[in-house]
Amino acid sequence: MPTTAPGSVRRVTTAEQRNVDEIVGAHDEERPARRLSPRWERALWIIGAGVALLVLKQVFLPFDQGNQYYLVIFLAVTLPLVFLSYRPKGRTGGDKDDPGVIDWVLSAITLVVALYPLLTGFDDFLDRQGQLSTVDVIAGAVLLLLILEATRRTTGLVLPIICLVFLAYAYYGGFLPQSWAISHAGMNFDEIISALYDPSNGFYGTPLDVAATYIVLFTIYGAVLANSGAGTFFVDFSFALFRKSRTAPGRTTALSGFLLGTVSGSGTATTVTLGAITWPILKKAGYPKENAGGLLAASGIGAILSPPTLGAAAFIIAEYLETSYLTVLLWAIVPTLLYYLGIVFAVEADARRFGAHSVDVDTPKAWAVLAKGGYHFASLAIIVVFLALDIPPFSAVVYASGVAALFSLATKLFAEDKRAAVIAWLKELVDSLSEGVRGALPVIAVCAAAGVITSTITKTGLGQVLADALVKAANSLSDNPTVVLAFTVVFCALAVCVLGLAVPVTASFIISWVVIGPALITLGVEPAETAMFIFYYAVLSEVTPPTALAAVAASAITGGAVIKTMWQTWKYTLPAFLVPLAFVLTENGSALLLQRPFLDVVWVTAVSALGVAVLAVVTTGWLIGPAKMPVRILCVPAALLLLYLQPLSIAIGAGFAVAAVVVHMLLRQKDKEEINSA
């Protein structure tokens, strides 16, 4: 990837942006959209903006017929766009890739069958729920196939195959031996389609509801921020803040990843965009390719885990638990601090271990950058303030988008040609509306497909059966309740990570919630801790070997070895893999989600921070100098026991930590004596 002279903050050129898009498309969980000719691009631009206006209309003037009526319309106007925006197979190789006849036919059929509940009379359709006519079943079956094809186009084959497996289980479950725990009475085809039309679980269940009322609005918000120059400001501010220390390049990358996540919303996309800007600086500072790639991937993924704009699954958590989105944001605060604390420890250690040095970055001082573009933080603050005032998140994000757009207009009015500036701003605004909707298409398809899985699991009772199987597997290893919980938690973490290797984060969370969630709740883990536990591992699957999509994308930027980059990423993110265990294994762990009194939160956070610091010694091999193997070995039980968050285990863990420090100092003194005597 071409770069300017190392040490200067640069803008990504058009050609480089195309390269960025290609890398994201090759390694992201979502496939790249078509490159349309100007005519078709303009057509979809108009349609996307129109859909955005429909979404905004629902926020302030909802349909009288109810929310399901809106969801039917929303799916009918967005699903056809998938066939026009995404190709049926890999990239054609040319610069233009317009939809063909088949795409238009599928789009038209999708529009008709998705609108079918309205075309036949919505009230009559609702009355027929559970006793569908033949035409109802045909329409539902066709819609099912189109949703699976839309999901295949946007995210690949794995999720549609999983949907088909669950559908086969629903149909053939009655033929399984009755002695099998997973056997059930079986569902005929009419019953399956009727279940998919169920407003609480199927096509129009919670996942699609969240996509239509939260996710699409936040993608519009992200587009408004991006088009107003927020991404550039966030990177410039990060560079200006740390400037010339030898750890500044690493710190800047971490902070830039956190801030850019508010604009991107995708871990892999944030990683690649961040790499295009900061890799030349990291290279100049002396970062090896794999270390730089690991830092980029860890920083990019961390943005999805961090408030105020968490990943899409966070909205689903709020809906499933019937709590406010602000509450979910509060739950994420301490784990986010611990996540980035782990990265900071690793950055500090790495900078000393391989001798990183400062880079003279050509940026203004931090206060000058903040004075010029600090208004970009205003819209983020507005979201939090409005949520605190009990304003619904879908309204809060619309207001925040409006504020961001108005600030953008204000900056443009300083131009000499104000008329041209206003016209440019209006185009930018409509671009944001259209880009927001089109950027949400993969998530919309995934949410509709996830409804197929949740409907099947709910109707057959499979979720509880699988949850019981997890608990039984743990019980077979021990009859001690604490040990059973520990094994179950580990099994659940592995299951979520493995599932996340194959399907997008949103789908991974939804499936895991209905299958794995009951296992933890049965053992006494509270729903809030269970949901956040699943959410974190669903996101972390993007940096989990052997696929680690974000790490693969980072290696494409730096040119580093893929496997080594994966392990470096794992080193930076290891605290994030262990912290979720901490808040489900013990009651004190709930303090990490601000579920306990203030003093409990303080001491639990402090102990967890110490655990993360000790863990960083294990992964980086550094403790006031190179840490030898005996020291790192002592730090392993120290970190694990500290993160168990019970008084006895904390005391023992602290003892191991002290022993590690003592051994480290003795070994350093011995090395110095040997050097002096040589």
Q: How far is the C-alpha of 539 from the C-alpha of 305, rounded, in Å?
A: 7
CB-based contact 470:492 (threshold 8 Å): yes
**pTM of the predicted model as reported, rounded to 2 decimal places:** 0.82
What does the domain layout of the chain look like in residue ranges? 593-677
Amino acid identity for residue 156 in this structure: G
In the prediction, which pLDDT does 198 show? Answer: 77
Q: Which residues neighbour 387 within 8 Å (Cβ) at sequence distance 6 or greater?
A: 324, 325, 326, 329, 393, 396
Which residue matches tokens 């500290």?
642
* Tokens read off for 653: 């863990």
* Tokens read off for 566: 């994966």
The DSSP bridge partners found for residue 622 are 626
In the prediction, which pLDDT does 164 show? Answer: 93
In the prediction, which pLDDT does 526 show? Answer: 92
pLDDT averaged over 10-residue windows placed end to end, the chain, 678 residues: 41 49 52 79 91 92 90 94 86 66 94 92 85 90 95 88 91 83 84 84 87 88 85 81 77 83 69 81 86 88 78 84 89 89 87 76 78 84 86 87 89 80 90 90 90 87 83 84 89 85 81 88 90 89 74 85 86 84 90 92 94 90 87 93 93 95 90 75
DSSP secondary structure, 146-190, as one string: HHHHHHHHHH-SHHHHHHHHHHHHHHHGGGS-TTSTT------HH
In the prediction, which pLDDT does 649 show? Answer: 94
CB-based contact 381:407 (threshold 8 Å): no
DSSP code of residue 463? H
Which residue matches tokens 């009526």?
69
123: three-class secondary structure by DSSP: helix
Which residue matches tokens 């750890």?
247
Q: How far is the C-alpha of 235 from the C-alpha of 239, rounded, in Å?
A: 6
In the prediction, which pLDDT does 88 show? Answer: 86
Amino acid identity for residue 677 in this structure: S
Q: How far is the C-alpha of 31 from the C-alpha of 547, rounded, in Å?
A: 16
* Tokens read off for 219: 């993608």
* Tokens read off for 619: 């992964």
Cβ neighbours of 548 (radius 10 Å): 28
What b-and-e string marks burial along 411-433, b requiring 16 or more CB atoms within 10 Å of the CB? bbeeeeeeeebeeebeebbbbbb
In the prediction, which pLDDT does 572 show? Answer: 86
DSSP secondary structure, 363-419, as one string: ---HHHHHHHHTTHHHHHHHHHHHHHTT--HHHHHHHHHHHHHHHHHHHHTTSS-HH
Q: How far is the C-alpha of 505 from the C-alpha of 525, rounded, in Å?
A: 22
Cis, bond preceding 393 (omega within 30 deg of 0): no
